[in-house]
Structure formats: C-alpha cells, structure tokens
Chains A and B, each alone.
Chain A
C-alpha cells in the first residue's frame, strides 16, 4: 500500500503501450474494418445490379419466347395454307385429269359405237337384202335396189 516509484513505472509503461497501440495496432485493424465495410457495400450493390440484370434478362427471355411462339405459329399457319394449296392444286389436277380421261373414254366409246353402227349397218343391209330375197323368192337385183337398202340402213 506504499506509494512509490512504481507510479512512474506504470506511467511510462502505460504511455508506451498507448503509443504503440496508436501507431501499430489501431490504424491497420480499423483500416481493414473500413475496407471490409466498403467491400460489403460494393458486394451488396453488385448483388442488386445482378438482380436487376436478372430481371431484365428474364423479361427479355420472356419476350423472345413470345416472339418465337408467334413466329412458329405464323410458320405453321403458312405451312397449313401451303399444304391446303398443294392439296387443292392436286385436286384440281386430278379433276382435270379425270375430265380428260372421261373425254377420251367418251370419244373412244363414240368411235366404237360408230364402228359398231357401221358394221351393223353393213350387216343389216345384207340381212335386209337376204330377207327381201326370201320374201320375194325371186332374185332381187342387188344393184337395182341397193339405193333403197342403203336408205333403209341409214335410218338405223
């Protein structure tokens, strides 16, 4: 409990520690704290920016997707239209072809019928002459009545 020189020893030691602390301990550590604070602020800023960027990107992606969908729909519509057109064209061509075939067939039929008529006509003429010969029992001058027979045959 004696007061003595220890007081001065303490004052000297205390002064030394305070000065050392002030020069070599406090500044670097608080400097680091301040720097970290800044870093954190920057990090938060960057995070905010990234969030905004993300939102923008999402918006853009959405609009892109919508546009693509529209494009796809348009392409599909066009394709459908084209397909219909092709089908229509094909139908048209088929119809024309059918008409042509029908016409050709009809022409052939007509020809055949004409030929058949010719043949028939010839045969009928012969038959008529033969029939008439039989009916008359007399020979008929084929040449003399040819004009008449032919007139008959033409009526067939």
Chain B
C-alpha cells in the first residue's frame, strides 16, 4: 500500500474511520474522504468501529456462553478451564478491591477486561491486511479503493473508549446516589476536602476530580492504543524487508501493552465503583 500513495496519504488513510452519516452537502451516505467525515460532525457513525467492537463483543459472549451452558463442577474441559482461569482472575481482583455486595461489578469487570483485550488484540493483526482486503472488496463493488476506509482496532477510536468510560461514569453516579442518597453525594462534592467555609473551592475540586475519572479512563486506553497503532503504521512505511526488524519487537512489546491496558481499565472501573460505594 505504501508504495501506491505518499506517506502522509497512507497514514491518514489508515487513521480514517469508515464513516456513515449526514453530510451537509451530499446528504446521508458514506464519507469518501477524511474531510467528508469531519464535515458530518456529530451526526455520523463509525461503521468499522461498531462492526469490529460489536463483532468482538459477540465473540466474547459466544465463547463464554458456550462454556456457561455446558459448565460442570466436575472435571472441566479445556475451554472451560480457559474461561475459568479468566473468571477467577477477574473475581480475585474484584474481591480484593471491592468489598460490597453487588452482582453487577464482577460481570462488568469481566466484560471490560475481555472485550477491551479482544479489541486491543486487533492491533496485532498486521496493519495492512484487513484494510487491504476491504479495499479489494470495495473495489469489487465499484468503489474507489482509496476512499474505502477500515480501522480494525476499535480502541484506537476515541468514541469507543469514551463510550465505555461514559457508561462507567453513569454507574459511578448511579451508585454514589444510590448508596449515599442525593444529599450525601452532593454533600461529598460540596464539603470535602476543606469543610463548609471553602464550599466553592471544594465544589470545583471535587467536580474536576469526578469528571477526570471517565476522561482519564477513555484517554488512557485510547492514547496507548492510538500510539501503538501509529507506530505500526510508521513501521509499515519502511521497505518490506526491513519491517520485521521493528514490527516484531514492537508487536511482542505490544502484547504486554494490550493486556495491561485492558487490565488497567478493568481495575480502575472497580476502584471507581468501590469509591462510589464508600462513605467518606
């Protein structure tokens, strides 16, 4: 691919989502260029992000549901063994951080961990394979291959990470109010850390702290994955015989990053929800 385009065109092609939305001039349809996609503004959707994230989510659910249906307390099969290892890992983390009775937290943590891990893992698929394939398919359907976009790593899309972070934020607010009451929650925002005489300052500090939770969750994952993806794209600009020298070590290192980022997202979610349950 790199040979057919200029480097900047190649990079921007790899960083553009397959967007469907309402264009102010062309109306409803797929964006043909990155500018088109930008012009669509908020009323657009990244088809590739949705496709891959939902696909991977369904894969997660299918895999675990298959085990859950035939689960046995006797001798486990290899699939059950694998699933049990993950579940016990998540359960250990949840029970060591979160000390309240809540049936949602552990499944939530499991979903986050596995789903984010699967989405991150798409980063290890060589950067050109799937975009190249979709371009060929697009060409077969009569589209201009240079305007067929396919970003395969959903977590390099800020919408995906922010979506999850907002959902977690919603849960933080929900449990804060549920456990402490609206008054208790607002009181926490207003009278801490410096008492009632510093109320505006407290309010400012606490609200910033509260909002920082989802923003940091979303940006940490997005930033790590986006940077990792970017480096794979830059490595792909090298001559083909030299790429493995950099892409192999980076991919090996990236195995650590994708696992770690999935783990961090999960642990921070548990920690934030544990904080929401706590009385200060």
Binding site for B on A (CB under 8 A): 1-11, 13-18, 20-22, 24-26, 28-33, 35-36, 39
Contact = CB atoms under 8 A, between A and B. Distances in A.
Contacts of A33: 73, 84, 87-88
Contacts of B19: 2, 4
Contacts of B50: 6, 9-10, 13
Interface stretch (B33-41, B129-137, B172-180, B234-242): B33-41
A10 B167 CA distance: 9
Contacts of A22: 103-104, 107-108
Interface of B: 15, 17, 19, 21, 37-38, 40-46, 49-50, 53-54, 57, 60-61, 64-65, 67-69, 71-74, 83-84, 87-88, 91, 103-104, 106-108, 110-111, 115, 157-160, 162-164, 166-167
A14 B15 CA distance: 23
B167 A14 contact: yes
A25 B107 contact: yes
A40 to B, nearest CB: 9
Listed residue (A3, A9, A10, A36) with the most chain B CB atoms within 10 angstroms of its CB: A10
Contacts of A21: 61, 64, 107-108, 110-111
Sorted nearest first, the 8 A-B pairs with minimum C-beta distance are A10-B163, A6-B159, A35-B73, A22-B107, A26-B107, A36-B73, A21-B107, A32-B71
Nearest to B87: A29
B163 A29 contact: no
B6 to A, nearest CB: 20
A6 B88 contact: no
A65 to B, nearest CB: 40
A32 B73 contact: yes
Nearest to B170: A11
B213 to A, nearest CB: 16
Contact of B163 (A1, A7, A31): A7
Contact of A6 (B103, B111, B160): B160
Contact of A14 (B49, B73, B163): B163
Given A9-B50, A26-B87, 11 more contacts: A4-B44, A6-B45, A6-B163, A7-B159, A13-B53, A14-B115, A14-B163, A15-B167, A17-B61, A29-B68, A32-B73
9 contacts: A4-B40, A9-B45, A9-B49, A10-B50, A11-B164, A24-B68, A25-B64, A25-B107, A31-B71
A8 B60 CA distance: 20
B41 A4 contact: yes
Contacts of B166: 7, 11
Given A2-B38, A11-B163, A29 B83 contact: yes
B178 to A, nearest CB: 17
B37 to A, nearest CB: 6
B110 A3 contact: no
B44 A2 contact: yes
Contacts of B44: 2, 4-6
A24 B163 CA distance: 23
Contacts of A5: 21, 42-45
Contacts of B158: 1, 3
B87 to A, nearest CB: 5
A32 B37 contact: no
Given A18-B107, A25-B107, A30 B87 contact: yes
A36 B74 CA distance: 7
A24 B65 CA distance: 7
Contacts of B61: 17, 20-21, 25
Listed residue (A3, A9, A25) with the most chain B CB atoms within 10 angstroms of its CB: A25
A13 B103 CA distance: 20
A96 B50 CA distance: 124
Contacts of B46: 4, 6
